[in-house]
Structures are given as C-alpha cells and as structure tokens.
A and B are shown apart, each in its own frame.
Chain A
Amino acid sequence: MKRTMIAAFLLLFCTGVSPAADRSATSSPSNPAQAVRKIQNEYQQKVKEFSDRYQAAKTKEQQKKAADSYPKPDVYGKRMLAIVKANPKTPAARDALFWMAENLQNGESFEQALGILAADFATDSNISKILPRLDWMPQGEPLFRAVIEKNGDHKTQGIALYSLADNLMQRGEAVAQFEHSKAPANKIEQMAGKAPDGKIRTAADLNKEAEQTFQNAIDKYADVIGARGSIAERAKTQLFEMHNLAIGQPAPEITGNSIDGHPMKLSDYKGKVVVLDFWGDW
C-alpha cells in the first residue's frame, strides 16, 4: 500500500489538473462549461487558502485548525454531478467527471462519477489520463474494463489494461493484509469485489488475475509507452515483484557496503527477525 499513502499525501497538497474546458463557449452564466470551471476555480482557491494557512501555522493547534479548513471534495463533487446530470454526454459533463476522478477519493458522488465515465466516456480520447490515479481503488475496475472493451485506441487500451493489472495487484496486497488481520467480511468484500461466479475474491484470486493481466499487457501492448514509461517494462517489474517479493517468498539476498564502508549481507542475519527499512533523511 506504499503507493497509496503517497497518492493520498499528494492528493492532500495538490489539486489535479483537468483538461481545459471548452473556452470558445459563450459567456452566458447558465453555460455548463463555465459552471464547471467556476467550481474548479473555487475549489482550487480553497485549497490554496488551506495551504497558506497550514504553512503559516505555528502551533499544532493552528495546524489542526488549518487542516480542518481543507475543502471537502465531496461537496464540490455533488455540485459537479448536478451539472453532469443536467448535461449528459457533453464536453462539460466530461470535464466535470474528469475533475471528480482526479480530485475525489470516495463518497457517493465519486462512485457515480466513475460509473458515468464507464458508461458514457469509455471511448474518450483523453480517458487514459485519469486511469493511473485510480490505481488501487476498487471503484476503478469497471472503468478500466469499459475502456479496454470499448475504446478503439490501441495506446489507450494498453494503458487501461496495465492500470487494471496494477489495480488488481494492489488490491491483492490490501486484501492479504485484511485476511491476515482478520478484518470484517464486508471490508474485504469492498476491497476485493466479486468473481464472475459471485464469490468474494481472495487475495490469491486477485493476484492470479493481476498476473494474467500483466502478462496480457506484455503480450499485446509491448509497443505502448505510457506517461511513466514502457507498459511492458513496467509490467515485467511488477511481475518480478509478485513472484520474488511477495509475502511468503524468501527475501532476495542483499549485498553491498554499509554507510560506514563495511561489507554487509542480508544472509548474515538468518535466524533473526529482520525489519528492512528503505529510508532517506529528507
């Protein structure tokens, strides 16, 4: 879940950049594209106010107060959703939904937004831009699948397939932790989702699907270069992690020099419980 934590952190301090709304629109205040832009700007302004206040905070109390002033994304999401419903399948609806996919994390309006994106905008030429952000979210799966099935663009399909594989893998890790800590069944179901036969998927099910999907991406989309590099290269790295760095696998040997310049080997610590901490003093 490490990427999750980073994603959540980034979300707190950055606002997503949505594709520009249709700027040739007329200036009527009832113009939906303008209404979408207005909400975006308002939200951004609030985030900036929060960030200024947070940085200026000197005590823990002031910090907490500043944190409480962070705009609630779902409030803005609901306003966006109203525009989407009044103007279905329009560029304004698309911009509103993209904004929601990039800025919300959960809540009813977020789930609805992803559902409408899957139904109405799976063929959109810019849809791949919002997929990586949904990497660990269970709500992302139907959208990835709709894009793979309906979008005719080879590159977009490749990115969606890789995103689906990554999504299944990360959820597999999360479910493994839930299973280990004996989390309640509804929590597991929410993260894992159901297999076609109606059974709640296990961590092993998700891992198996993830492996097959990564392999599929390597076989069919080796030529696709996404925003973070070659899909096939990244899929191979993830498969390596699944095969060699998964829970239950023997840790690969680590050799090298210590900070003091002495040679150091992981296998020297056999017989001990070991915490490996990848860290930096920054």
Chain B
Amino acid sequence: MYPHERSLVKRMQNKPFALLGINSDSDLDKLKLRMKEEKITWPSWADLKTAGPIATAWNVHGWPTIFVLDSKGVIRFKGPRGNSLDKAVDSLMKEIGVAVPPAPPVADE
C-alpha cells in the first residue's frame, strides 16, 4: 500500500485532496519510526487498537479499509484499491472541475 499511497499523495499535490489515515497501532513511538522509514507524510488519527473508537464507529473489521469522500463529505466509494482507487479519486476531482495528472498503472492490490 505505502508506495501507491505515496504516489497518489504526490500526484494530488496542491490539489483539493487529502489522504487521512485512521491508524490502529498501539505503540506510537515504534509507529513514528516506521512512518519515517516509509516516508508516510500524511496525517492519521491515532485510534490505538483495532477496536478503537473510530474503527468501531465506522464498523471496520478488516485492514486496510478505504472510503473515498467527495468534496461535500459524502461517502462515494468503499474499498477501492490500486487502479480502482486512482479512478475513484480522479472521477471526484473531475466532478469539481479539477484537472489532475494521469495515474501511472498499478496492480490492483
């Protein structure tokens, strides 16, 4: 996931876009080191465990789980990965008239 997420964030640089994580790790010190190693620059909520309050409220039982929201905050896609995630984001950018660079092909993970 990380390489594709990094490239998505880079591709959407300076566009009305945000990748927000909800992280379920409990050891935040270890996690911060790993994020440095993996160059994870986007923000995440610290949900601290798989049964954390955010994952529970969102009925998430599998990781990773992805939701894509449009600019109005409406849930538009659930679970897209790889190419499908790129397509989902691109279609919502198109809806608000924002041109984005084309996505490089990636395998559906």
Contact = CB atoms under 8 A, between A and B. Distances in A.
B96 interface: yes
A246 to B, nearest CB: 7
A266 B22 CA distance: 11
A250 B59 contact: no
A256 B43 CA distance: 12
A269 B45 CA distance: 14
Contacts of A252: 57-58
A259 B60 CA distance: 19
Given A247-B75, A254-B45, A275 B68 contact: yes
Contact of A278 (B43, B63, B68, B70): B63
A173 interface: yes
Given A251-B75, A258-B46, A259-B31, A276 B1 contact: no
Interface band, chain B: 35 or more
A274 interface: yes
Interface stretch (A21-29, A110-118, A209-217, A237-245): A237-245
Interface residues on A, range: 35 or more
Contacts of A173: 78
A249 B78 CA distance: 12
Secondary structure of the B side of the interface? mixed
Given A275-B66, A279-B24, A250 B73 contact: yes
A2 B50 contact: no
B75 A249 contact: yes
Contacts of A238: 59
B8 to A, nearest CB: 7
Contacts of B18: 269, 272-275
B5 A258 contact: no
Interface of A: 1-3, 5-6, 173, 237-238, 240-241, 245-252, 254, 256-260, 264, 266-267, 269-282
25 contacts: A1-B79, A3-B62, A247-B77, A250-B74, A254-B57, A257-B45, A258-B44, A258-B46, A269-B20, A271-B16, A273-B16, A273-B17, A275-B18, A275-B20, A275-B67, A276-B20, A277-B64, A278-B24, A278-B65, A279-B1, A280-B23, A281-B31, A281-B34, A281-B35, A281-B38
